[in-house]
Amino acid sequence: MAQCLAKASLLVALFLPSQSAAATSDWLTSPGGAIRLVASPPKPDGSIPAVLEIKLESGWKTYWRDPGASGIPPQITLDPAGGVALEAIRFPAPKTFGEGPGRYVGYDSSVAFPLTLKRVSGEKDLTVRATVFLGVCEDICIPVQGTLDLTLKGGVFDNPLDGARIDEAVAALPKPPSEDFRVTKTAFDEQAGTIHLDLRLPRNEGKPEIFLAGPAGISFGAPVVGDLSGDERRVDIPVKLFGKDRKIGGKAIALTVRAGYRSMETTLAFD
């Protein structure tokens, strides 16, 4: 995996745009799987629920928003001429693969990323044209690039099953913190370059998996999870800061925790 980016430039898969008059784009096929966009009509507030579906073949993987040193996070750009803007991409809890320099974070089965789209045009019909760039891997990484097109026609939603796919993807997202699953204490040791977290965890869910994603200029090492003390565990995460602004204060860091069948997501902030 450490050499995947060096080899990837020779294996870029480029796709031509496809046309669709429904709320589902055509599939874009690539080595290891296929990708498509599913969207429902705009709500009264102009929001458009949607998902990016990635269908993976057995043995293939794709990446989380912060995949680590070797991986390509999913990136989506919308054509503004279509009257639709992208406000957010959301991610289900991932898994960790490999160790050391080859460690990366992602998914080893088909996955859907919920999208928050926003209507910015008053036109009755809307065209969503999304340029997608992401990575898939088996033995090496393959960058996948292509364009997904679909048209939302005046509130008509052709297939109710597409709405169910969107609902299922949203339901699979990590939940907000709760009384039995939350961060109880945070600290950053600047001298050691380590984030310290105390986590309250659901009972009988086993050892947690910890994932962090931050803005450019921050990278995270492998979290070290301590022994259970009551319902809480101490977690230490190595941090490296790059660039001119080597301060963690004021920078939002997304924390995702998987514990058994449950997952939780929150934002960390340090003074």
Q: What is the pLDDT of residue 181?
A: 96
User: To the nearest whole number, what is the mean pLDDT of the chain?
Assistant: 85
Q: What is the pLDDT of residue 18?
A: 36
Q: What is the pLDDT of residue 174?
A: 97
Q: Give the domain range for residue 205.
A: 182-268
Band of pLDDT at residue 161, cut at 50, 70 and 90: confident
- Residue 10 structure tokens: 């020779």
User: In this model, does residue 206 exceed pLDDT 80?
Assistant: no
Mean pLDDT of 96-108: 85
Do 23 and 98 belong together in one domain?
Answer: yes
Do 47 and 88 belong together in one domain?
Answer: yes
Q: Does residue 53 fall inside a structural domain?
A: yes
Closest CA to 56 of 127, 94, 13, 109: 109
Q: What is the pLDDT of residue 2?
A: 37
Q: Among 139, 171, 203, give the residue marking a domain's end.
A: 171
Higher pLDDT, 228 or 185: 185
User: In this model, does residue 175 exceed pLDDT 60?
Assistant: yes
| Rounded Cα gap, residues 178 and 181, in angstroms | 5
| Rounded Cα gap, residues 84 and 128, in angstroms | 6
Q: Among 111, 138, 171, give the residue marking a domain's end.
A: 171
Query: Whole-model pTM?
Result: 0.86
CATH number of the domain encompassing residue 121: 2.60.40.1250
Q: Among 171, 200, 228, give the residue marking a domain's end.
A: 171
Per residue, the 3-state secondary structure of the chain, as one string, reads: CCCHHHHHHHHCEECCCCCCCCCECCCEEECCEEEEEEECCCCCCCEEEEEEEEEECCCCEEECCCCCCCCCCCEEEECHHHCEEEEEECCCCCEEECCHHHCEEEECCCEEEEEEEEECCCCCEEEEEEEEEEEEECCCEEEEEEEEEEEEECCECCCHHHHHHHHHHHHCCCECCECCEEEEEEEEECCCCEEEEEEECCCCCCCCEEEEECCCCEEECCCEEEEEECCEEEEEEEEEECCCCCCCCCCCEEEEEEECCEEEEEEECCC
- In sequence order, what are the beta bridge partners of 231? none
Mean pLDDT of 52-65: 96
Do 152 and 31 belong together in one domain?
Answer: yes
User: In this model, does residue 23 exceed pLDDT 50?
Assistant: yes
Most confident of 125-129, 156-160, 172-176, 229-233: 172-176
Residue 213, classed as helix, strand or coil, is strand
Poorest-pLDDT segment among 100-114, 192-206, 238-252: 238-252
* Total domain count, the chain: 2
Q: Does residue 176 fall inside a structural domain?
A: no
Residue 161, classed as helix, strand or coil, is helix
Q: What is the pLDDT of residue 149?
A: 94
Higher pLDDT, 160 or 183: 183
Strands 28-30 and 33-39: antiparallel
- Residue 206 structure tokens: 């086993």
Q: What is the pLDDT of residue 86?
A: 96
